[in-house]
Structure 1
Amino acid sequence: MDQTDKRFDAFMNRDKSADGSFVVAVTSTHIYCRPSCPARRPKPENIRFYDLPEAAEQAGFRACKRCHPRDAAAQDPDVRRVRRACEVIAARLAGGEGGPPTLDELAEAVGTSASHLQRRFRKLVGVSPRDYADQLRLTGFKGRLRDGDDIAGALYESGYGSPSRVYERAGATMGMTPATYAKGGKGARMGYAIAASPLGRVLVAGTVTGVSAIYLGDDEAFLAAELRAEYPLAEIVRDEAALGPLVAVVLRYLEGDLPHPELPLDVQGTAFQRRVWQELMAIPAGETATYKDLAVRMGQPKAARAVGRACATNPVSLAIPCHRAIGTDGALHGYRWGLDRKQAILARERARRGKAVAAA
């Protein structure tokens, strides 16, 4: 019986002795629990396991208010050190001064070497201590803006040394400027265009910063409705003139003229999602990697399911090539726009690559 099976059995049996050794996240509710949680058991396909609460939170899950999984004492010494490191980071950021602690400071605080902490932190949480701190700081900043703090106060309380640090990354991490986010996203303008492609209709949407969505389908009304559902607070308008050049790049890629659609992007994601998306971008056109392969490359061999979920939440299909990720069995699995399109995209990439090799 592998570790996943043991964890599944412990969860289904509400084994209290397993509390503190892992947490269980449920994709249908976006909540994570301790193994002994008395709540009703979800469908097996909606279950994800994480080594510690902070890793589940990095993946976008919230702590259960019934079983309080954060309160369970960790059993593994390394897990205790990593959790303690997370507490030190949070405490430093809550103080609003000096920014997050350095790796050496964290290592000293938890009583281990910097290299060991870096390695175990990345394995257990899914990101480095620095990436974790960046995500935690940004989350705190956004929360303070939603609560009504002014931008200057939110910056200080979140541990940012200067406004430029958050503004220069706003497009990549927030999808809009702090001032716009503070208003709930109202006023953010997103244009979109829809065109015929070899794979049906393609929708490309974006802000002045870059592309925020690429959808494929057969019905224009459905694609536009999907966009509005994903970005409900933005002002969304059809703008063929402004989006035309970006649509042209996507069409050239789908027609086999480009190996990859190089586009400026304006997308949001957790630190873990961004790591997965970076790994997807590293897969050469025409090639594939399994979810497990990607998890191993990230130093988290047991996170294949979480990798699959990050692929599924990719808002810019094609630009971030989630179609190049396949199941561990080598078969095509789960593509938002249909497995027939996923197969067709890969076939076109392979055909273009074959022509390029033959011409070389």
Structure 2
Amino acid sequence: MNDHQDLNAYRWQILASRTRNPQYPFCYAVVTTGIVCRPGCPSRLPNPENVRFFDNCQDALKAGYRPCKRCHPLDDNKEPSELVVRVCRQIERDPDQANLNTLASVLGYTPAHLQKTFRQQIGITPFDYARALRQQRIYRELGHSRSNTDALLQAGYQSSSQFYTEFKQFSSLPPGSHRQSGKGEILTFAVADTTLGALVVAASDKGLCWISLGDDPHAQVEELQRHFARAEFCPPDEAFNQWVSQVTGLVEAPGERLSIPLDIRGTVFQRQVWEALRKIPMGSTMDYQALADKIGKPGGARAVASACAANVLAVAIPCHRIVRRDGSLSGYRWGVERKADLLAREKGQGMGN
């Protein structure tokens, strides 16, 4: 083994051990996401064959990689404070005891101070962090457990009602179907840049099955891999890159139409909602109740909202066109600011036509 191989073996050992500040600093890039991180990044450990090591992040940037927005490899001043780290560890030990008052009491801070500090540095509340943690665990457990009941208990849920309520908010498939999600499939995926953030696109042999927008492509790819827990993923070819270009064009100019087949997966009701969403004219909006009425489910406004939240094909299924009854913007899986921007772009294009 030569010196270069010895060095890379040492660096992989540091990376795998989650050491945050190694004696000899370095950065690592993940080929499949195009992201550069530093040791100790909270993202999932990548496969060794997808990792490239660099002496410094500047070299990685020159090679075309982008800095991770979770570990901020270019800015040592963005390390989470000791308080935030303690909050995360406490939640990880027991996500179901992650209510604000309990955390504040255990850690010796006021609830207001703890909430403000955590949200300023992480961007979400402790409650949101705990829910995301349960989400990761349920995806993992669904792939290994023999039943939904075993999976929800192993993931830390105290009741089936809590589990099913939360699961509907982040998955378009029922839990039983998700346990087999992606089994035997080969999905092609790619990451691209847009003016609305990182774009992650994936497709099966039937068509596009995933489009997400966000600020952290590394985390977005992880979400994709969790959603299709049993699928095999492969890099894009030239034909798929043309599909990605079309989706990028749709983000930048919402008036464009996709000439790409969609592999839409969901319940009968969800598909009904998503089909109705695709019929809302560009530049127009509709509230949840109006959409429920349109599909013949006048008492189903809440179910419509859940179906919109479970959509995994951003812009292709335009759930951003759904607003509250008073016209104000409601939640959006990929961020309310992006929702506002998409609507503004559509309105501008409509006026220009």
Normalising to structure 1: TM-score of the pair?
A: 0.48
